């Protein structure tokens, strides 16, 4: 090998290792950003789960009116709860299946 070939090989190896160093730096920055985003989402999820779940009076009145319209008689609402708890993550398929199942139940009207 001549001096030119050695210089050319050294320049090529330097470029390759510099490129690899830039890639490693980019991947580590993305990983740090991702872990900080994940920890932020976890904190927000825990804060939302610790919040007291309540229904405002307007929503309760609307639910009562809807039940009264469906049943057209005396009725008592015993419990109102969320269809999907905030701390449980379910996919859209299960939510859609549950909606179809609940929609298939027909409440007979009292005469």
Q: Tell me the per-residue pLDDT of 12-48, one tens digit each, with 9 for 90 and over.
A: 999 999 999 999 999 999 999 999 999 998 888 888 7
Instruction: In whole angstroms, give the CA distance from residue 81 to residue 56.
Output: 13
Q: Which among 79, 44, 47, 35 is positioned nearest to 60, based on CA atoms?
A: 79
**pTM, full prediction:** 0.41
Q: Which residue has the higher pLDDT, 56 or 18?
A: 18
Residue 1 has pLDDT above 80, yes or no: no
Which residues does 45 contact at the CB level (< 8 Å), separation at least 6?
86, 87
């Amino acid at each position: 090998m001549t001096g030119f070939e050695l210089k050319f090989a050294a320049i090529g190896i330097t470029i390759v290792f510099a490129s690899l160093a830039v890639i490693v730096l980019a991947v580590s920055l993305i990983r740090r950003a991702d872990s900080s985003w994940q920890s932020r989402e976890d904190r927000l999820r825990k804060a939302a789960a610790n919040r007291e779940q309540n229904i405002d009076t307007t929503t309760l009145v609307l639910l009562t009116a809807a039940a009264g319209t469906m049943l057209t008689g005396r009725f008592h609402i015993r419990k109102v709860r969320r269809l999907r708890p905030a701390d449980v993550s379910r996919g859209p398929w299960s939510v859609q299946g549950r909606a179809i199942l609940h929609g298939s139940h027909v409440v007979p009207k009292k005469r």
